[in-house]
Structure 1
C-alpha cells in the first residue's frame, strides 16, 4: 500500500490523497466550515511581543473530513503552524504570503494504513485498527499494537503458548509455526523486532512503522489472500486445454 500521502500535512485548500476508512474507495475532503483552530497559550503570549513573527504561531486544530464517495465523516485532531510562501502577483512580481498548515495527530475513525485481507481473523484486524489509530501521534505505541496483533495471529494458527508449563516467548512461538505458515517465519520475526522496539520505549518513527506494515502486509496476504490460488487454478485449466494430444 502506498503511504506517502499519509506523511503530508493538509491546508484549507489542499488535502493529500487520504482514502476513506469506511468504503476504501473515496478520498477525504476537508469540510472548511467545520475547521476550528486556536492558538496555544505559549504562541498567543509570543504574538503579543513586538518582535514576534507569523512563523512562530502554533495552533491546536479540530477538523472534519467527508468522503467523496460514501459521505462518511472523519474527525481529525491536528497541530497547526504558519509557513512563509512565495508567489507571483498580477504584475509578475514575487509576492510574500503566509499559509496555515496542519499536521494530523489523530483520526476517528482511524485511517487504514495497510491492506488487510478479507479473510484475516477479526482479532488480528482489530489490533491493527488500534495500531492505525496511534500511527500519527505515537509510532512506538502503534508498532506495539501491531506486535499484539502478531500474538493473536499465533493463537489463530494454534501455536502453543507454553511448553510443559513454561511460557513461550513470541520469538519462540514464531519458531514453532505450523508447516503451512513456516515460510513466513522470517517476515514475522522482523515484525516482532520492530514491535519490541515500540513496546520497550525505542524511538520509532513513522517510517519504521511503515516498514512494519509493509512486511506484515505481505505475510498476511501470503497466509489469507486466495487470489493467487484462484488465478493459478485458472492458468492450469487453460494450459490443460492447450496440451497437445500424443
Structure 2
C-alpha cells in the first residue's frame, strides 16, 4: 500500500514556497486526515544577512536568509495546534527569478509518518514517532531510530537478543544476525527479509559519519510501511470474512430487531 504521508513529506522537504496559500498538504498529527492550514507566519532576517546586504561585494538575493515560525491549524477544531520552526532563504528560479522559500526544522507535535499501524506493537510505534520528532533537523538520527523499530519487530517475533559463544559467555546479537534468525524461523515471511535489511543499512549509515538527507530517512519510512502492512494489516482477512458472510446470505440484509433503525 502506498504511503501518502511520505509523498506529502517529500514535497515539504523540497522547501515550502513563499506564499502559504501554495503550501503542500501537511498532514494533521491528530486526525491524520485533514491538511494543516497556516494561521500565522512570522520571520526574522538574521544579523549576518543584514550586514551582507550593506557590504560592497557582488551581492544577490541568495544572501538574504533568516528564521521563521508558523502556527498551523487543522480545519477540525478538536485537533491540536501545530508549531513549525525553520529557516528561510532565497533561490533562483527560471520562471520568477529569485523566490523565497521556507525550510522546516521542527514540527510540534511531530507530523505522522504512517497512516495505519494495524496491530503493530506499541513499542514499534514509539520508535517511529521518535524518528518523526527529529526527521527534519537530524535525518541521520531519524534513520537510526527507524532501525531501532526493526529491533523491536525482532523482539515481538521472539528473536533472541543475546547469543552464547564457545566459552558460554553471552553476547549481544547484531541486528543482521537477528534478521537471519527471523528468516529461518519464519520462511513464510521471507519477502520482508530484504526490506528489513535495507532499513538496517540506512540506520547503520545514520549511526556513523554518513550524513543522510530527509529523503533517505523517508525511504526507510516507506520500506517500514510495507513491512508493517505485511506483518500486521488485518484488513484483507476482514474483507474475506465479509465476502463469505455476504455470499452466505446471498446478498440479503442481516436480520434486525424491531427496535433497530432501518439504516
TM normalised by structure 2 equals: 0.78
Secondary structure of the 1:62 match is: strand
Secondary structure of the 2:181 match is: coil
Aligned to 1:92: none
1:56-107 deviation line (CA, Å, top 9, x unaligned): 21011111111122442111111101356798xxxxxxxx786532111111
Aligned to 1:174: 179
Aligned to 1:90: none
Aligned to 1:220: 228
Q: Does 1:233 align with 2:238?
A: no
Q: CA deviation at 1:203?
A: 2.7
Aligned to 1:5: 11
Q: Does 1:43 align with 2:64?
A: no
Aligned to 1:63: 70
Structure with higher RCO (Cα < 8 A, 6+ apart): 2
> Does the Cα contact within 8 Å between 1:140 and 1:201 map onto a contact in 2?
no
Q: CA deviation at 1:139?
A: 1.5
What CA distance in whole angstroms lies between the structure 1 residues aligned with 2:116 and 2:142? Answer: 16
Aligned to 1:138: 138
What CA distance in whole angstroms lies between the structure 2 residues aligned with 1:239 and 1:174? Answer: 41
What CA distance in whole angstroms lies between the structure 2 residues aligned with 1:226 and 1:97? Answer: 51
Aligned to 2:153: 153
| Unpaired runs of at least 5, structure 1 | 88-95
> Does the Cα contact within 8 Å between 1:38 and 1:60 map onto a contact in 2?
yes
What CA distance in whole angstroms lies between the structure 2 residues aligned with 1:63 and 1:124? Answer: 30
| Unpaired runs of at least 5, structure 2 | 165-169, 251-263
> Does the Cα contact within 8 Å between 1:65 and 1:74 map onto a contact in 2?
yes
Q: Does 1:20 align with 2:28?
A: yes
Aligned to 2:81: 73
How many pairs align? 232
- Cα-Cα RMSD: 2.5
> Does the Cα contact within 8 Å between 2:106 and 2:136 map onto a contact in 1?
yes
What CA distance in whole angstroms lies between the structure 1 residues aligned with 2:84 and 2:114? Answer: 19
Q: CA distance change for structure 1 residues 102 and 201 in 2, over 3 Å: closer, same or farther?
A: same
TM normalised by structure 1 equals: 0.83
Q: CA distance change for structure 1 residues 72 and 8 in 2, over 3 Å: closer, same or farther?
A: farther
Greater shift in the superposed pair: 214-223 or 182-191:
182-191
